[in-house]
């Protein structure tokens, strides 16, 4: 019994669950509720779907919205296997919805862990990257958007099996890819699926030309696996696809959007400058020029150090592909300030059907995490050689943080500080803080973490001890 318990708690998936519950304890223990779209949109839809399915009928029609509409053709998770199972056998209510959200946070962590193991056998680093992904700014800021969370949760697993097929040429992996794809397509946001399809096509072309060029037998086997995956995914997604195609002639969203509509809700340079101080991004939407759910791409304060380190030390071609594509997506997400998304809408098929370019920052986050993973592995292999180099990068980041804090402090009236005024609750105090005060507070916290990070680096004599010390700081 003790050996089984020990084996259970040695599993990274168990610790990812524990970490998700601890980080989102307000949701896990129902202390604080989810808001906005989660209550206004998803809850009534999913509750109605539960009533219909549990009464023994299919969810063909929703009479309670827009004078009635074909509910089964709505691509907002109505054919998502997890939604169907929960609605039919458990039922959606306010409590179920919160644990349903938490489930997708856990799925995201486990999926990212699997993807990390494809790039390295260092499971500890894969665990850190998975934790940074599921607890990062994207999932926190999109807590109200269930379909976006579903896309982000399953996307790493789709990429993992896609890359694994390229190595194993296994039909079993093709079936696993089809299942992961089905979950992402039926439960997620279509725009993210389309961008992922372009990315995976690009990855396949580059890897085949670089690694398998001239091997026609290998090409046939790989294409056979991918064809099987696509076929099985289409069969599993058929109810959703058929329902939507039937309704396309009468759907206004079945036509391309105007350029202004497609460019709406973008990421901004102002948010990018403060991406390492997430506390500054939690309010002041007018300053950032976008909705606060669209401006957070925080992945921690430690991994960005290794992103910079990776630019000076060699990482693999696959990691560079992820990073470069992520940079391109970041440039596209800045659609109000750069022309790249405008060009994509005009010349790339299907891009003109969707809005919210800020969602492209998900690919920037993925690419950055994979790139930092490779750099982290490289650093542990050359710990003694590159220890000082990492120290210089940390000090550079510390200097940047000091400059941001100094600039914000200069714009703060010390005689009129918000936290010196009386407020009914601590939450209202946080909401009342000015942007400059948020930068000062959040930047100081980040600066403390960087100082601790630097001390641990200088005091540690070997890579094993360094990782053991850093994991507690990271979490």
> pLDDT per residue over 357-394, tens digit each?
999 999 999 999 999 999 999 999 999 999 999 999 99
**Encoding tokens for residue 107?**
């799925």
For position 421, what pLDDT does the model report? Answer: 83
What's the pLDDT at 451? Answer: 95
Q: Which residue, chain included where needed, has tokens 């606060």?
A: 292
- Please give the pLDDT value at position 92: 96
Instruction: Report the distance separating Cα 358 and Cα 288, nearest Å.
Output: 12
CA distance 80 to 94: 19
pTM passes above 0.85:
yes
Characterise 65 by phi-psi region: left (phi > 0), alpha (psi -120 to 50), beta (else). beta
**Dist CA 328 CA 361 (whole Å):** 10
Residue 471: pLDDT band by 50, 70, 90 thresholds? confident
Mean pLDDT, residues 118-129 taken together: 93
Consecutive H or E run containing 10: none
Residue 8, pLDDT > 70, answer no
H or E stretch including 74?
A: none
Q: Where would I find the H helices in 24-74?
A: 25-28, 37, 43-54
Instruction: Give the residue from 19, 283, 288 showing the smallest Cα distance to 133.
Output: 19
**In contact, 136 and 300? CB cutoff 8 Å:** yes
Burial annotation 259-274 (CB, 10 A radius, 16+ → b, else e) = eeebbbbbbbebbbeb
- Cβ atoms of 229 and 165 within 8 Å: the answer is yes
How far from the centroid of its chain's Cα atoms is residue 100's Cα? 17
Please enumerate, as own/partner, the contacts of 192-195 that have beta carbons within 8 Å and a separation of 24 or more.
192/148, 192/151, 192/152, 192/155, 192/359, 192/362, 193/151, 194/350, 194/351, 194/354, 195/329, 195/360, 195/363
Question: Per residue in 236-258, pLDDT tens?
Answer: 999 999 998 888 887 776 678 88
Is residue 463 within 8 Å of 125, Cβ to Cβ?
no
Is residue 69 helix, strand or coil? strand
Which conformational region is residue 472 in: left (phi greater than 0), alpha (psi within -120 to 50 degrees), or beta? alpha
Please tell me the distance from the alpha carbon of residue 34 to that of residue 355, in angstroms, as a whole number: 24
Residue 475 pLDDT exceeds 90: no
Please tell me the least confidently modeled range out of 48-57, 91-100, 211-220, 448-457: 211-220
pLDDT of residue 274: 93
Q: Give the pLDDT of residue 346.
A: 92
Residue at token pair 């918000």 = 418
User: How far apart, in Å, do the first and last CA atoms of the chain sit?
Assistant: 29
Q: What is the pLDDT of residue 247?
A: 85
Mean pLDDT of 267-289: 92
Q: What is the pLDDT of residues 325-339, one digit of tens each?
A: 999 999 999 999 999
Tell me the pLDDT of the chain averaged across its residues: 92
Q: Which two tokens stand for residue 359?
A: 């969602």
Could you list the beta-strand ranges (E) of 231-307: none
Res. 88 pLDDT band, cuts 50 70 90:
very high
CA 180, CA 109: separation in Å to the nearest integer? Answer: 15
Q: Could you tell me which residues are beta bridge partners of residue 69?
A: 62
Q: What are phi and psi of 197, to 5 degrees?
A: -60, -45
Q: In sequence order, which residues have a C-beta less than 8 Å from that of residue 445 and are 6 or more positions away?
A: 279
Q: Which residues pair with 62 in a beta bridge?
A: 69
Spatial distance between the Cα atoms of 365 and 329, rounded to a whole number of angstroms: 10
Distance from C-alpha of 475 to C-alpha of 473, rounded to nearest angstrom: 6
Angle, CA of 244, 248 and 251, to the nearest 5°: 110
Q: Cβ–Cβ contacts within 10 Å for residue 430, how many?
A: 16
Per the structure block, which two tokens stand in for 404?
Answer: 């941001």
Name the phi and psi angles at 62, rounded to 5: -115, 105
């Amino acid at each position: 019994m003790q050996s089984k318990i020990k084996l259970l708690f040695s599993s990274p998936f168990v610790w990812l669950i524990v970490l998700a519950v601890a980080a989102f304890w307000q949701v896990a223990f129902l202390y604080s509720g989810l808001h906005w779209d989660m209550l206004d949109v998803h809850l009534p839809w999913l509750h109605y779907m539960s009533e219909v399915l549990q009464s023994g009928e299919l969810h063909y029609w929703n009479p309670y919205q827009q004078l009635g509409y074909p509910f089964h053709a709505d691509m907002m998770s109505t054919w998502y296997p997890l939604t169907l199972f929960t609605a039919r056998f458990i039922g959606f209510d306010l409590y179920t919805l919160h644990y349903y959200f938490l489930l997708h946070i856990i799925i995201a962590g486990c999926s990212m862990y699997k993807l990390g193991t494809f790039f390295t056998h260092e499971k500890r680093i894969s665990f850190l990257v998975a934790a940074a992904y599921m607890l990062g700014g994207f999932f926190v800021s999109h807590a109200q958007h269930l379909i976006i969370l579903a896309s982000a949760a399953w996307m790493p697993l789709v990429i993992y099996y896609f890359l694994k097929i390229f190595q194993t040429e296994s039909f079993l992996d093709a079936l696993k890819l089809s299942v992961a794809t089905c979950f992402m397509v039926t439960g997620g946001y279509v725009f993210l699926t389309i961008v992922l399809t372009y990315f995976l096509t690009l990855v396949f072309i580059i890897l085949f030309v670089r690694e398998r060029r001239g091997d026609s037998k290998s090409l046939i086997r790989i294409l056979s696996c991918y064809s099987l995956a696509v076929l099985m995914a289409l069969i599993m997604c058929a109810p959703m696809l058929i329902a939507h195609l039937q309704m396309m002639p009468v759907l206004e969203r079945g036509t391309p959007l105007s350029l202004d509509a497609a460019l709406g809700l973008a990421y901004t340079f102002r948010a990018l400058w403060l991406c390492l101080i997430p506390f500054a991004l939690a309010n002041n939407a007018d300053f950032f020029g976008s909705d606060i759910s669209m401006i957070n791409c925080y992945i921690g304060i430690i991994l960005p150090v290794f992103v910079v380190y990776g630019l000076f030390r060699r990482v693999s071609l696959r990691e560079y592909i992820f990073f470069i594509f992520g940079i391109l997506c970041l440039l596209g997400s800045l659609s109000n300030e750069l022309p790249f998304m405008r060009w994509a809408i005009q010349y790339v098929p299907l891009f003109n059907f969707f809005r919210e370019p800020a969602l492209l920052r998900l690919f920037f986050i993925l690419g950055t995490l994979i790139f930092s993973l490779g750099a982290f592995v490289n650093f542990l292999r050359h710990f003694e050689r590159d220890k000082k180099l990492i120290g210089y990068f940390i000090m550079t980041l510390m200097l940047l943080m000091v400059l941001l804090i100094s600039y914000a402090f200069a714009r703060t009236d010390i005689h009129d500080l918000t936290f010196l005024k009386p407020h009914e609750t601590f939450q209202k105090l946080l909401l009342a803080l000015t942007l400059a005060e948020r930068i000062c507070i959040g930047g100081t916290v980040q600066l403390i973490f960087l100082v601790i990070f630097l001390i641990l680096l200088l005091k540690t004599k070997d890579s094993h001890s360094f990782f053991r010390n850093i994991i507690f700081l990271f979490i």
